[in-house]
Amino acid sequence: MSSLTIYKRELSSYFSQPTAYAIIVIFLALSMGLTFSFGNFMRIGDASLEWSFFFWHPWIYMLLAPAVGMKLWADEQRTGTIELLGTFPVSTWSAILGKFLAAATVWLVALLLTFPIVITVNYLGDPDNGAIIAGYIGSFLVCCTFLAITMLVSACTRDQVVCLIVSVTVCVMMVLCGYDDFKMAVSKSAPSFVSFLVDLIPFVNIANIQTGIDQTAGTIVEGVTSIGVWEHFRSLNRGLFRLQDLVWFGSFIVLCLLGTSAILSSKRA
Protein backbone atom coordinates (compact mmCIF):
# COMPACT_ATOMS: atom_id res chain seq x y z
CA MET A 1 0.00 0.00 0.00
CA SER A 2 1.53 3.32 -1.09
CA SER A 3 1.00 6.96 -0.16
CA LEU A 4 -1.16 7.29 -3.27
CA THR A 5 -3.51 4.53 -2.11
CA ILE A 6 -3.91 6.11 1.32
CA TYR A 7 -4.33 9.52 -0.30
CA LYS A 8 -7.20 8.26 -2.45
CA ARG A 9 -8.83 6.50 0.52
CA GLU A 10 -8.63 9.57 2.74
CA LEU A 11 -9.80 11.95 0.04
CA SER A 12 -12.75 9.69 -0.69
CA SER A 13 -13.64 9.60 3.02
CA TYR A 14 -13.64 13.41 3.18
CA PHE A 15 -15.99 13.86 0.27
CA SER A 16 -18.22 10.92 1.13
CA GLN A 17 -19.33 12.81 4.24
CA PRO A 18 -20.87 16.27 4.57
CA THR A 19 -18.07 17.58 6.81
CA ALA A 20 -15.72 18.61 4.01
CA TYR A 21 -18.51 20.25 2.03
CA ALA A 22 -19.70 22.13 5.11
CA ILE A 23 -16.20 23.43 5.92
CA ILE A 24 -15.64 24.51 2.31
CA VAL A 25 -18.96 26.39 2.29
CA ILE A 26 -18.14 28.04 5.63
CA PHE A 27 -14.70 29.05 4.33
CA LEU A 28 -16.18 30.55 1.15
CA ALA A 29 -18.87 32.38 3.10
CA LEU A 30 -16.40 33.81 5.62
CA SER A 31 -13.70 34.76 3.12
CA MET A 32 -16.10 36.43 0.71
CA GLY A 33 -18.22 37.97 3.45
CA LEU A 34 -15.20 39.49 5.21
CA THR A 35 -13.75 40.68 1.90
CA PHE A 36 -16.82 42.59 0.81
CA SER A 37 -17.80 43.86 4.27
CA PHE A 38 -14.93 44.40 6.71
CA GLY A 39 -12.36 44.24 3.92
CA ASN A 40 -14.00 47.22 2.17
CA PHE A 41 -13.08 45.64 -1.16
CA MET A 42 -15.07 48.01 -3.34
CA ARG A 43 -14.19 51.16 -1.39
CA ILE A 44 -10.40 50.81 -1.12
CA GLY A 45 -9.95 49.31 -4.59
CA ASP A 46 -7.52 46.62 -3.45
CA ALA A 47 -6.73 45.08 -6.83
CA SER A 48 -3.95 42.91 -5.39
CA LEU A 49 -6.41 41.47 -2.81
CA GLU A 50 -3.66 41.80 -0.19
CA TRP A 51 -5.71 43.46 2.53
CA SER A 52 -9.30 42.93 1.50
CA PHE A 53 -9.09 39.18 0.76
CA PHE A 54 -5.87 37.36 1.75
CA PHE A 55 -5.54 39.23 5.06
CA TRP A 56 -8.45 37.23 6.49
CA HIS A 57 -7.22 33.77 5.51
CA PRO A 58 -4.91 33.01 8.48
CA TRP A 59 -7.70 34.03 10.87
CA ILE A 60 -10.12 31.66 9.12
CA TYR A 61 -7.61 28.81 8.84
CA MET A 62 -6.74 28.90 12.53
CA LEU A 63 -10.32 27.80 13.27
CA LEU A 64 -11.25 25.68 10.26
CA ALA A 65 -8.00 23.89 9.35
CA PRO A 66 -7.97 21.94 12.65
CA ALA A 67 -11.58 20.93 11.97
CA VAL A 68 -10.40 19.19 8.79
CA GLY A 69 -7.27 17.68 10.30
CA MET A 70 -8.49 16.63 13.75
CA LYS A 71 -9.60 13.20 12.55
CA LEU A 72 -6.36 12.35 10.74
CA TRP A 73 -4.97 10.14 13.52
CA ALA A 74 -7.27 10.68 16.50
CA ASP A 75 -10.04 8.76 14.73
CA GLU A 76 -7.65 5.94 13.78
CA GLN A 77 -6.62 5.59 17.43
CA ARG A 78 -10.19 5.78 18.74
CA THR A 79 -11.48 3.05 16.43
CA GLY A 80 -8.38 0.90 16.73
CA THR A 81 -7.68 0.94 12.98
CA ILE A 82 -4.21 2.31 13.66
CA GLU A 83 -3.22 -1.17 14.89
CA LEU A 84 -4.78 -2.65 11.74
CA LEU A 85 -2.84 -0.19 9.63
CA GLY A 86 0.32 -1.50 11.22
CA THR A 87 -0.33 -4.93 9.68
CA PHE A 88 -0.44 -3.51 6.15
CA PRO A 89 2.70 -3.30 4.01
CA VAL A 90 2.92 0.48 4.35
CA SER A 91 5.46 2.63 6.12
CA THR A 92 4.45 5.18 8.73
CA TRP A 93 5.81 7.96 6.57
CA SER A 94 3.74 6.85 3.56
CA ALA A 95 0.58 6.86 5.68
CA ILE A 96 1.39 10.32 7.07
CA LEU A 97 2.12 11.76 3.64
CA GLY A 98 -1.05 10.29 2.12
CA LYS A 99 -3.27 11.61 4.90
CA PHE A 100 -1.63 15.05 4.91
CA LEU A 101 -1.94 15.48 1.14
CA ALA A 102 -5.60 14.42 1.25
CA ALA A 103 -6.40 17.08 3.87
CA ALA A 104 -4.38 19.65 1.94
CA THR A 105 -6.35 18.79 -1.22
CA VAL A 106 -9.61 19.64 0.54
CA TRP A 107 -8.27 23.13 1.23
CA LEU A 108 -6.83 23.44 -2.27
CA VAL A 109 -10.33 22.83 -3.62
CA ALA A 110 -11.71 25.47 -1.23
CA LEU A 111 -9.12 28.00 -2.40
CA LEU A 112 -9.75 27.29 -6.09
CA LEU A 113 -13.45 27.92 -5.54
CA THR A 114 -12.62 31.54 -4.58
CA PHE A 115 -11.34 32.14 -8.11
CA PRO A 116 -14.40 34.25 -9.11
CA ILE A 117 -12.97 37.09 -7.03
CA VAL A 118 -9.86 37.06 -9.25
CA ILE A 119 -12.08 37.30 -12.30
CA THR A 120 -13.91 40.19 -10.62
CA VAL A 121 -10.77 42.28 -9.96
CA ASN A 122 -9.53 41.64 -13.48
CA TYR A 123 -12.87 42.80 -14.86
CA LEU A 124 -12.92 45.93 -12.71
CA GLY A 125 -9.28 46.92 -13.13
CA ASP A 126 -5.76 45.91 -14.08
CA PRO A 127 -4.35 44.01 -11.07
CA ASP A 128 -0.93 42.46 -10.65
CA ASN A 129 -1.89 38.82 -11.18
CA GLY A 130 1.60 37.74 -10.15
CA ALA A 131 0.99 39.21 -6.69
CA ILE A 132 -2.40 37.49 -6.55
CA ILE A 133 -0.82 34.12 -7.39
CA ALA A 134 1.80 34.72 -4.69
CA GLY A 135 -1.01 35.49 -2.26
CA TYR A 136 -2.72 32.22 -3.09
CA ILE A 137 0.54 30.30 -2.60
CA GLY A 138 1.12 32.02 0.75
CA SER A 139 -2.45 31.31 1.82
CA PHE A 140 -2.11 27.63 0.94
CA LEU A 141 1.21 27.36 2.79
CA VAL A 142 -0.34 28.88 5.93
CA CYS A 143 -3.16 26.35 5.70
CA CYS A 144 -0.72 23.45 5.23
CA THR A 145 1.24 24.68 8.26
CA PHE A 146 -1.89 24.55 10.42
CA LEU A 147 -2.79 21.12 9.03
CA ALA A 148 0.69 19.85 9.92
CA ILE A 149 0.28 21.18 13.47
CA THR A 150 -3.12 19.49 13.74
CA MET A 151 -1.71 16.20 12.43
CA LEU A 152 1.02 16.30 15.08
CA VAL A 153 -1.52 16.95 17.84
CA SER A 154 -3.84 14.29 16.40
CA ALA A 155 -1.07 11.70 16.73
CA CYS A 156 -0.88 12.45 20.47
CA THR A 157 -4.53 11.88 21.35
CA ARG A 158 -7.47 9.71 20.38
CA ASP A 159 -10.02 12.37 21.33
CA GLN A 160 -10.96 14.57 18.38
CA VAL A 161 -12.35 17.32 20.60
CA VAL A 162 -9.10 17.53 22.57
CA CYS A 163 -7.19 17.59 19.28
CA LEU A 164 -9.40 20.40 17.97
CA ILE A 165 -9.03 22.54 21.11
CA VAL A 166 -5.25 22.12 21.37
CA SER A 167 -4.71 22.63 17.64
CA VAL A 168 -6.86 25.78 17.51
CA THR A 169 -4.99 27.16 20.54
CA VAL A 170 -1.59 26.60 18.90
CA CYS A 171 -2.79 28.00 15.56
CA VAL A 172 -4.19 31.10 17.27
CA MET A 173 -0.80 31.73 18.86
CA MET A 174 0.88 31.21 15.48
CA VAL A 175 -1.39 33.87 13.99
CA LEU A 176 -1.03 36.33 16.85
CA CYS A 177 2.77 36.06 16.97
CA GLY A 178 4.06 38.55 14.44
CA TYR A 179 0.74 40.33 14.02
CA ASP A 180 1.48 44.06 14.30
CA ASP A 181 -0.81 44.84 17.25
CA PHE A 182 0.38 41.80 19.19
CA LYS A 183 3.99 42.60 18.36
CA MET A 184 3.52 46.13 19.64
CA ALA A 185 2.00 44.82 22.88
CA VAL A 186 4.95 42.46 23.38
CA SER A 187 7.39 45.30 22.60
CA LYS A 188 5.84 47.42 25.34
CA SER A 189 5.65 44.68 27.96
CA ALA A 190 8.93 42.83 27.29
CA PRO A 191 11.27 45.42 28.96
CA SER A 192 9.10 45.51 32.10
CA PHE A 193 9.00 41.70 32.20
CA VAL A 194 12.78 41.40 31.87
CA SER A 195 13.27 44.13 34.49
CA PHE A 196 10.97 42.24 36.86
CA LEU A 197 13.01 39.05 36.43
CA VAL A 198 16.28 40.91 36.94
CA ASP A 199 14.86 42.63 40.02
CA LEU A 200 14.44 39.22 41.62
CA ILE A 201 18.20 38.74 41.52
CA PRO A 202 19.82 40.22 44.65
CA PHE A 203 22.70 42.70 44.43
CA VAL A 204 21.88 43.68 40.85
CA ASN A 205 21.30 47.34 39.99
CA ILE A 206 18.86 47.54 37.08
CA ALA A 207 20.12 50.99 36.10
CA ASN A 208 23.57 49.58 35.42
CA ILE A 209 22.32 46.94 33.00
CA GLN A 210 19.50 48.84 31.29
CA THR A 211 21.13 48.45 27.89
CA GLY A 212 21.30 44.70 28.34
CA ILE A 213 17.65 44.64 29.42
CA ASP A 214 16.62 46.53 26.28
CA GLN A 215 18.62 44.15 24.10
CA THR A 216 17.09 41.12 25.80
CA ALA A 217 13.61 42.58 25.36
CA GLY A 218 14.36 43.15 21.68
CA THR A 219 15.49 39.54 21.35
CA ILE A 220 12.22 38.37 22.94
CA VAL A 221 10.20 40.45 20.47
CA GLU A 222 12.14 39.10 17.50
CA GLY A 223 11.80 35.55 18.82
CA VAL A 224 8.04 35.87 19.25
CA THR A 225 7.72 37.36 15.76
CA SER A 226 9.81 34.64 14.11
CA ILE A 227 7.59 31.77 15.28
CA GLY A 228 4.43 33.32 13.84
CA VAL A 229 3.14 32.96 10.30
CA TRP A 230 2.53 36.67 9.65
CA GLU A 231 6.15 37.64 9.06
CA HIS A 232 6.45 35.06 6.29
CA PHE A 233 2.91 35.24 4.94
CA ARG A 234 3.08 39.03 4.62
CA SER A 235 5.91 38.91 2.07
CA LEU A 236 4.12 36.40 -0.16
CA ASN A 237 0.92 38.36 0.24
CA ARG A 238 2.73 41.35 -1.25
CA GLY A 239 3.94 39.34 -4.21
CA LEU A 240 7.48 38.83 -2.90
CA PHE A 241 8.95 35.34 -3.23
CA ARG A 242 11.67 35.25 -0.58
CA LEU A 243 13.60 32.02 -0.18
CA GLN A 244 13.66 32.41 3.62
CA ASP A 245 9.85 32.43 3.75
CA LEU A 246 9.48 29.35 1.56
CA VAL A 247 12.17 27.57 3.60
CA TRP A 248 10.41 28.52 6.86
CA PHE A 249 7.07 27.11 5.75
CA GLY A 250 8.62 24.00 4.25
CA SER A 251 10.81 23.34 7.29
CA PHE A 252 7.97 23.86 9.76
CA ILE A 253 5.66 21.50 7.88
CA VAL A 254 8.34 18.81 7.51
CA LEU A 255 9.29 19.05 11.20
CA CYS A 256 5.65 18.58 12.23
CA LEU A 257 5.31 15.57 9.93
CA LEU A 258 8.57 14.09 11.25
CA GLY A 259 7.32 14.61 14.79
CA THR A 260 4.10 12.83 13.86
CA SER A 261 6.13 9.96 12.40
CA ALA A 262 8.20 9.63 15.57
CA ILE A 263 5.10 9.55 17.80
CA LEU A 264 3.25 7.00 15.65
CA SER A 265 6.33 4.80 15.25
CA SER A 266 6.70 4.67 19.03
CA LYS A 267 3.05 3.62 19.36
CA ARG A 268 3.34 0.95 16.68
CA ALA A 269 6.53 -0.46 18.16
pLDDT of residue 247: 93
- Predicted pLDDT at 197: 43
Q: Are residues 136 and 14 in the same domain?
A: yes
The three-state DSSP-derived secondary structure of the chain is CCHHHHHHHHHHHHHCCHHHHHHHHHHHHHHHHHHHCCCCHHHHCCCCCCCCCHHHHHHHHHHHHHHHHCHHHHHHHHHCHHHHHCCCCCCHHHHHHHHHHHHHHHHHHHHHCCCHHHHHHHHHCCCCHHHHHHHHHHHHHHHHHHHHHHHHHHCCCCCHHHHHHHHHHHHHHHHHCCCHHHHHHHHHHHHHHHHHHHHCCCCCCHHHHHHHHHHHHHHHHHHHHHCCCHHHHHHHHCCCCCHHHHHHHHHHHHHHHHHHHHHHHHHHC
Whether residue 113 is found in the same domain as residue 190: no
* 36/127 same-domain check: yes
Query: Within this chain, do residues 55 and 164 fall inside the same structural domain, yes or no?
Result: yes
The string of pLDDT tens digits covering residues 107-127 is: 999 999 999 888 888 887 788
Are 14 and 89 part of one and the same domain?
yes
The count of structural domains within the chain is: 2
Tell me the residue range of the domain where 209 lies: 178-226
Q: What is the pTM of this model?
A: 0.82
Does one domain contain both 60 and 143?
A: yes
Same domain (yes/no): 192, 255: no
Same domain as 190, residue 127 = no
pLDDT of 217: 45
pLDDT of residue 169: 93
pLDDT at 111: 95
Clarify whether residues 87 and 211 are in a common domain: no
Residues of the chain with pLDDT under 70: 1, 39-48, 75-89, 178-226, 268-269
145 and 118 belong to one structural domain: yes
